[in-house]
Chain A
Amino acid sequence: MNAKSLSKLCAPCLAILLAAATGCSYVVDAVEAQIMNRASFSITVTDNHNGTVTVDWEDIDDLDSGAFAGYEIYVTDTPNDEFAGYRVIAAEYSLSSSTDVDSGLHYDTTRSATVNFTPNSAGDVYYFRVAAIYWDEEKESDREKNWTFDKVGHTWTSSYPDSENRWFYENKSGIDKVSGGLRVQF
């Protein structure tokens, strides 16, 4: 067994030891949570009383810079309803007519963003979330190899902003980590 083989065994061996030390229930819960996009970090939201809110989020555990595609900020699309769906209000690209474009959301080191947002009425309650978006192909080498014109009709580029990079963002990315839903009353 050479050094490379030994290093590949490290991750599963560590997972096994982790399961043994912490309890299998927590390990399998963490696995299920990863599959189901479970909320895993918290945010704060400040109403700036000028038609904008500032959203701050804590460091995200296990954030993979190589797979990271950007942050997105969401708000409930119906006021005064904890169980409403969410819509995107800020991203590095204009994903909808109501999306603020914020180039800072392209960088994994960003921890804050100020977004245009006006509630329907004073006193309304909204819920906010932040998501870390990952590329479907998490390694750059896989993106270069598999996202070619002959395979997907577009050529991968990491250059931002770029129309090709935007196409991949809209079609080949997904939520990997998401915050809890923070209640804000305006």
Chain B
Amino acid sequence: MRKLLFAAAFVSSAVLSVPAYVSAASYEASSLFNSVGRSETVQDLFFERWETILDRQLYIDLYGKINWVNDFKVHTINQGNGQPQTIPMTLVRTYGSLTIDIPVLGGYDNTELTKRLNKGSSGNADDQESDSSGGGLWKPKNLQVAFTATGFHYGLTRKAAVDRGSAGDESVTDYRFTQFFDDIFSLSVLYMPYVYVHGGVIMNNQIEPKADGTMSYADSKNGYPEFRWFFASNLLSFLNTNATITKGKVEKMAVGTEVVKFVEMFTKVPKVVPRVTITGKQLALYNDETYDSVWVKSAFIHGTASAKNREMVDGDRQHAKLYTASILVSEDFKNIFFADFFAEYQYCPATLIEKRTDQKLDLAPLREMRGSVGCNFFGFNPANIYALTLTVGMGQYWDPAIALHRTSGTGHSLTGYFSSLKFEHPLFGVELDASYNYSKELRKLVETADKVAVEASLFVRF
């Protein structure tokens, strides 16, 4: 019964592998070990939740998702006989987020619960039928203080069958190989609508399970957990900045502008105008790590004829930044029809050498492009507090590691699709997604290339 309650609270995804052919290649971790990429992923999820929190004026937001990706074939040694063997394992991804947000001065618009929790309630709450989304920008609303804990766990597990005789068959699982835990702890101060800041720490931890498949959260690997400082801000609702700092260096910096919000400072903008966000980012992504799919500048240690290898000292590792520019256009027509389009361009000034081929790798200018459309079937009646939204979309993603992880075809780019069905009540909701090579999923974990995912999640908010 307890397991059913847990399962109801955090619904899993079963992933069917759809290989075009049986691949002899086994799993090799790439993005899984990249703490820079994982930190970016957990920040993206942090910002996704905060978008909802601000839009719906929440005091508490609790969100959880569990995802299983099967058919990761891993080369390992069978400790029973000392022989190498390829074993199918499961990649587990779990995500949780908790935010407590308290207006310490002033309050939220709308004291009536369902009105406050409605989508867009933080906007012109008094006149939701108006075509104008402006007005009120210079009138202070409130001062909020918030705490957020957001975390992501990745790791491989292996299933073992158990025959209980006349009591039936069951299965148990063990942790296998390094487990990754990435957590953000953030304090936020919001003086709405003028400015808000989030500041805190990102904790990246790696834990090695014991030989028997058990694990203790206290058994971090040497040198872990690592900490990164995290800062994000929004000014006058239109200017977003965020940065991550580790070991005294800026690892990531991003600046974004919400164009419509900027224009609204000077004139009223009809609500039908799409929301446009332009973002520039600098990310210290390539660091000659063992798990990276590329070497930076050369496959040889600088000034020597020695090939770069996993044993080389940190001083021999070379680094390269990735620069990106992106545009996000999103439209919400009266909470009935939705559409969005995202494109991101990339540039790396350093030469990258693909480990798989030992050849120079030219980055494709277009890193990601995706679009989606959706319809809220309950939105035709504005008085309806429920929403049932069907969304479909497709996307393309380019990554150096795609050529390594794909099980069919060649090249560093994959095109994929997704669909989702979301049911929402103001206080809770459930969402079911199905995707195949969708760019947002590949961006989080390129190891999911050529795998179909069905995923569901649950949220509770107040």
Contacts and interface: CB of A to CB of B under 8 A. Distances in A.
B222 interface: no
Contact of A39 (B85, B100, B212): B212
B153 A179 contact: no
B165 A31 contact: no
B290 interface: no
Contacts of B95: 24-25, 28
A170 interface: yes
Nearest to B147: A20
B166 A129 contact: no
A175 B210 CA distance: 21
Nearest to A84: B80
A147 interface: no
B97 A24 contact: yes
Nearest to B42: A25
Interface stretch (B4-12, B20-28, B318-326, B381-389): B4-12
Given A34-B3, A42-B214, A74 B162 contact: yes
B160 interface: yes
A102 B356 CA distance: 56
Contacts of B161: 85-86
Interface string A90-129: 0100011001000000000000000000000000010101
Contact of B167 (A42, A127, A169): A169
A35 B153 CA distance: 15
Contact of A182 (B6, B167, B212): B212
Contacts of A41: 214
A29 B95 CA distance: 8
Interface residues of B, number: 61
B286 interface: no
Nearest to B1: A138
A181 B212 contact: yes
Contacts of B1: 136-138, 142
B172 A175 contact: yes
A95 B168 CA distance: 9
B183 interface: yes
Contacts of A37: 170-173
A83 interface: yes
Contacts, number: 198
A125 B62 CA distance: 46
A87 B10 contact: no
Given A19-B98, A34-B6, A77 B212 contact: no
Given A23-B185, A25-B151, A31-B66, A86 B163 contact: yes
A161 B155 CA distance: 42
Interface stretch (B174-182, B258-266, B448-456): B174-182
B172 A79 contact: no
Contacts of A28: 10, 64-66, 94-96, 151, 153
A133 B172 CA distance: 12
B6 A81 contact: no
Given A23-B151, A24-B97, A85-B160, A180 B66 contact: no
A170 to B, nearest CB: 5
A32 B66 contact: yes
A35 B98 CA distance: 21
A23 B10 contact: no
Contacts of A23: 149, 151, 181, 183, 185, 203
Given A25-B152, A178-B172, 12 more contacts: A19-B96, A25-B94, A29-B92, A31-B66, A32-B92, A39-B212, A80-B81, A85-B160, A86-B160, A96-B163, A170-B168, A183-B212
30 contacts: A20-B98, A20-B147, A24-B95, A24-B98, A24-B150, A25-B95, A25-B96, A25-B151, A26-B183, A28-B95, A29-B181, A32-B94, A67-B2, A72-B164, A76-B80, A82-B79, A83-B80, A86-B163, A87-B162, A88-B165, A88-B167, A96-B163, A96-B165, A96-B166, A137-B1, A170-B167, A179-B214, A180-B211, A181-B213, A183-B80
